[in-house]
Amino acid sequence: MKKPACHSVSRVAAVAVLLIVSTSRCGGTYEETISGVAIPVPKAMSRGSDKPVEMNFFGVGAGQASFHGDMDAEKITEFYKKEMPARGWQPNMSLRSGNALLAYSKDGKTMLVAVAKQNNATQLTVTVGGAGR
């Protein structure tokens, strides 16, 4: 005996809703280029008014950009702990004490992610550096 078609439709709808909910938890992402490297940023975080800093010193290049928003600092930390390994970055360090400092490496580059609560907002600073820049 065949199952009614409405069960298949309801399963597909349930899976679609699950996908939408699971991908919207962080409100999505966008990419910023820092020191020539595409870095994911949660959409709830906006780039600060200062221009990203870029420098090159004895063949070692680095860049830094700051972001702010009212996204929970813990959610930002969890975002990077999932997103960076999925993009091939190897975790090197995780330090948490109210604030968070995460370090990743890939292809001779190092990325530091600093997350701190500041007044009523959350501050995110991303620094990328490496030889050959």
Domain boundaries, the chain: 28-131
**pLDDT at 106 > cutoff 90:** yes
**Which numeric CATH code is attached to 28-131?**
3.30.310
**Residue range 61-80: mean pLDDT, rounded:** 93
**pLDDT at 18 > cutoff 60:** no
Distances (CA, A) of 77 to 7, 26, 122, 124: 39, 11, 11, 10
Torsion of CA 73, 77, 78, 82, to 10 degrees: 150
**pLDDT at 54 > cutoff 80:** no
What was the pLDDT predicted at 13?
40
Could you tell me which residues are beta bridge partners of residue 103?
Answer: 93, 112
Model's pTM, two decimal places?
0.72
**Residue range 38-49: mean pLDDT, rounded:** 92
Q: How far apart are CA 13 and CA 3, in angstroms?
A: 17
**pLDDT at 101 > cutoff 60:** yes
